[in-house]
Amino acid sequence: MILFPALVQSQDAGETPQTFEALLARQTALLVQVLERPADLDLAFEYATVSVLVGDYEAAISTFERMLIFAPNLPRVKLELGVLYYRLGSLETARYYFQAAQESPNVPPEVQQKVETYLAAIAAKQQPTQFRADLIIGARYQTNANAAPGGRRVTINGRDFILDDTATGKADFNAFAAGRAYGSYDLGTQGDLIETDLVFYAARFSDQVRLDTGLAEVTIGPSFNMARFNWDNAQLGLYAVASGVRLNHANYNGALGFGSRLVARPDVQTEVTAKVEWRQRWFNDTSEYPTVSDRNGYYLQFASKISRQLTKALRTRVLALADFEETSAKFQQSWEAGAGIGATYQFASPIKQLPHLWSFDLEAGYIYRAYAAPDPLVNVSEKQKDHEGWIRAALNVPLKYNVSAGLVGEFRRQYSNYDLSSYSNASAMFSLRKAF
């Protein structure tokens, strides 16, 4: 008698929540038993279920597939395999198992319903034209919105000066709206796409109007499935980019460039992303910002992230970044390099009326920045060097399947050998996000 459906319901209901260490110990103990009793399907199903909970999808898949050798007419096992392959992005394999579940004898109604839901999702994903978008509105408070020194006493070219009060850090509140629209067209050549991204951001400050910001950026280009080079689960994109920024209600800068991005999944738990980008930038002098054209030049950027699903609930990441900013004024020219770590933990909602999983994210990072020449107005003999660090915490609360609320707190500190560039800033932000 096969009892494993009850096991799944017990896991889904969360009647006996366990720590990750306890689940790993349980998985190890179950593996020993499975090897001793390979024909025990209830035991195999429990081992596969626990493997999913600890994020070991490979063990779960191999176990479910082995179960079908002993008992080929198990619609729930075929459903579980379809779900796992769907999560991994192997849509055709997922479709095969979902259809196999439908064709099995005595399919339970709840299994049939889930299969139909996933098959509809696969059909939508495999349309040649895809579109999705996010819209975010929110408010933010900062203790040092203008990133200026916290104190009035600074040293400039070896002499102490007292800054005017308007030149020091000021707290402020701003409202903002941001969005992203993504579209793609499948070229029908085994996963090759034409992709386009549109990003915009606008912020209005309560007091410091000179910080009012508007930004728009668009990228477009092809993305190639690297399976043709025997590199499975990898996509390489090439794109052109154009962007513009307005500051204090006047044009601030514009840029044109190109780049390349890579998304790869070396195994079921790991994702690697990387981007290299070059831009030519032009800055516009205004009465509020009269010398920004000193920054005219090209900008070269590298950014990468490795993320890994450690458990069903916990995903960690490591960040690396570097850039070089070429400018017409050498004292504005700089390079920087940095790194960061972060983690996202999902947990059951403490509010019955909000059934979707909540998530808590924590990130910390550091950037070192060095300039090419001394700024003669600040220090004629020493080049500027900055050390910047940050720590950020965020809580995401889904209100509906496509609407969520976010709370973010961040502390950022920059120490520089130029007093005018040293500052600290703490911020708190609330936002609402809707996905389309």
List the one residue out of 84, 123, 126, 119 whose CA is nearest residue 99: 119
Instruction: Collect all residues with Cβ–Cβ distance below 8 Å to 235 and sequence separation of at least 6.
Output: 191, 193, 223, 224, 225, 226, 262, 263, 264
The whole-number average pLDDT for the span 313-327 is 96
> Dihedral angle at the C-alpha atoms of 432, 275, 230, 68, nearest 10 degrees?
-20
Q: What angle do CA 77, 83, 84 make, to 5 degrees?
A: 90
pLDDT in tens, 253-308: 999 999 999 999 988 789 999 999 999 999 999 998 999 999 999 999 999 999 99
């081992």: which residue's tokens?
Answer: 47
Taking the domains of the chain in order of start, what are their residue ranges?
4-125, 129-435
Distance CA 363, CA 411 (A): 11
pTM of the prediction? 0.75
pLDDT in tens, 205-232: 999 999 999 999 999 999 999 888 888 8
CATH superfamily ID and name for 129-435: monomeric porin ompg (2.40.160.40)
Structure tokens at 44: 């195999």
Distance CA 67, CA 252 (A): 63
Q: Which residue has the higher pLDDT, 373 or 311?
A: 373
Q: Helix 109-125 and helix 91-102: axis angle, to 10°?
A: 150
> Dihedral angle at the C-alpha atoms of 150, 154, 156, 159, nearest 10 degrees?
180
Q: What angle do CA 254, 260, 264 make, to 5 degrees?
A: 140
Distance CA 133, CA 139 (A): 20
Residue 18: predicted pLDDT = 61
The DSSP output letter for 293 is G
pLDDT in tens, 385-424: 999 999 999 999 999 989 999 999 999 999 999 989 999 9
pLDDT in tens, 76-135: 888 888 888 888 878 889 889 999 888 888 888 888 888 888 888 888 777 788 889 999
Provide CATH code, domain 4-125. 1.25.40.10
Q: Which residue has the higher pLDDT, 104 or 337?
A: 337
Q: Left if phi > 0, otherwise alpha if psi is -120 to 50, otherwise beta: which for 116?
A: alpha
Side-chain-side CA neighbours of 398 within 13 Å: the count stands at 15
pLDDT in tens, 139-173: 999 999 998 888 778 788 878 778 777 778 899 99
């195999």: which residue's tokens?
Answer: 44
Q: Left if phi > 0, otherwise alpha if psi is -120 to 50, otherwise beta: which for 289?
A: beta
Structure tokens at 313: 């609930």
């981007």: which residue's tokens?
Answer: 275
The DSSP output letter for 251 is E
- Alpha helices in 239-283, H assignment, sequence order: none
Q: What angle do CA 403, 406, 410 make, to 5 degrees?
A: 160
Three-state DSSP class for residue 24 = helix
DSSP letters spanning 72-122 = S--HHHHHHHHHHHHHTT-HHHHHHHHHHHHTSSS--HHHHHHHHHHHHHH
